[in-house]
Structure 1
Amino acid sequence: MNLRYTFDDMKKVDRSQLGEMVPLELFRTIRLIGLNQGLPLGGKGTTLTIGRKIGESLPVTSVEELIMLFEDLKIGLPRIVHSDEHKINIAVEDCFCKGLPTLAEEKMICDLEGAILEGALTKILGRKISVKEIKCNATGHEHCEYEVKLSS
């Protein structure tokens, strides 16, 4: 008996009455109340570990496929705003936090999405990278943005 799920397993939905969608409010509640407010240190270690694992499991082999999958999964609308041999900046429009009240403190809350990018890009590029959220809708920025640092 296999006790591990794959990304393909997640597509298998058999809910005849409620269908395949759950409200964004539920996802936000799990992320921001359950993980962020319910775990020590805002759940950062947990969301980073989860996000990297999700990113590694995604069926993508190129940055373009990753961008399309982010859109298909309604994570957000990513676009590359800067790219050179040392770093890539990815802006994500319409992120899950869009429309939430602006936080009084400069606290970035979309670390899961950055960790998903990190896991997927590490697999795609075949090299060590790190991803840091540098802008967030929840802190009043026009979009969420991630700085991807590429190792040599």
Structure 2
Amino acid sequence: MLDYTFDDMKLINRDKLGNMVPLELFRTIRLIGLNQGLPMGGRSTTLTIGRKIGENLPVHTVEELLQLFEELRIGIPRILYQEEHKMIVAVDDCFCKGLPTLEEEKLVCDLEGAILEGALTKMMKRRVTVKETKCNVSGHEHCEYEIRM
């Protein structure tokens, strides 16, 4: 079986369409395909996928991870709070920004949190947990993650 790496993902040879796909496609895959199409909103799938992506990112520091988040256009992360075993990270301009606000309190950016979790667990060589606590689709001003190390 072929195992791809993050570096492999940069190898793009699309003469006409280039290296970008519309945000609408990504949203459709995430929110209609996974969230609405799988049991439990696809949560176990997105967590598994996100952690694996995070483990494969070429980052060695929190700063590099946050910078790569922005370079990949996942969102614009910023640390709101940090102590030895806890960090709160806000992500502005997340993929869900601009979607209609849902009536029920819903969190849909678990993939992004799992990416952070996978990368931080690999970096710190110990178990890190990341929990989404705020989301644009619930009317919050940004998506927010509580990280426990």
> What is the TM-score of this pair, normalised by structure 2?
0.98
Aligned mates of 2:21, 2:79 — CA distance in 1: 29
Over the matched positions of the two proteins, sequence identity in percent amounts to 72
Q: 5+ unaligned residues in a row in structure 1: which ranges?
A: none
Aligned mates of 1:48, 1:94 — CA distance in 2: 21
Please list every run of at least 4 consecutive aligned residues from structure 1 whose deviation after the TM superposition is greater than 2 angstroms.
Answer: none
Counterpart of 2:119?
Answer: 120
Q: Please show how residues 38-117 of structure 1 align to structure 2 within 5 Å.
A: 38-117=37-116
> Is 1:7 paired with 2:34?
no
> Is 1:21 paired with 2:20?
yes
Q: Please state how far the C-alpha of 1:3 moved relative to its aligned partner.
A: 1.0
Q: 5+ unaligned residues in a row in structure 2: which ranges?
A: none
Aligned mates of 2:56, 2:10 — CA distance in 1: 13
SS at match of 1:44: helix
Task: Look up the equivalent residue of 2:99 and give its one-letter code.
Answer: L
Aligned mates of 1:78, 1:90 — CA distance in 2: 6
Q: Please state how far the C-alpha of 1:86 moved relative to its aligned partner.
A: 2.2
Task: Look up the equivalent residue of 1:130 and give its one-letter code.
Answer: T
> What is the TM-score of this pair, normalised by structure 1?
0.96
Aligned mates of 2:65, 2:80 — CA distance in 1: 15
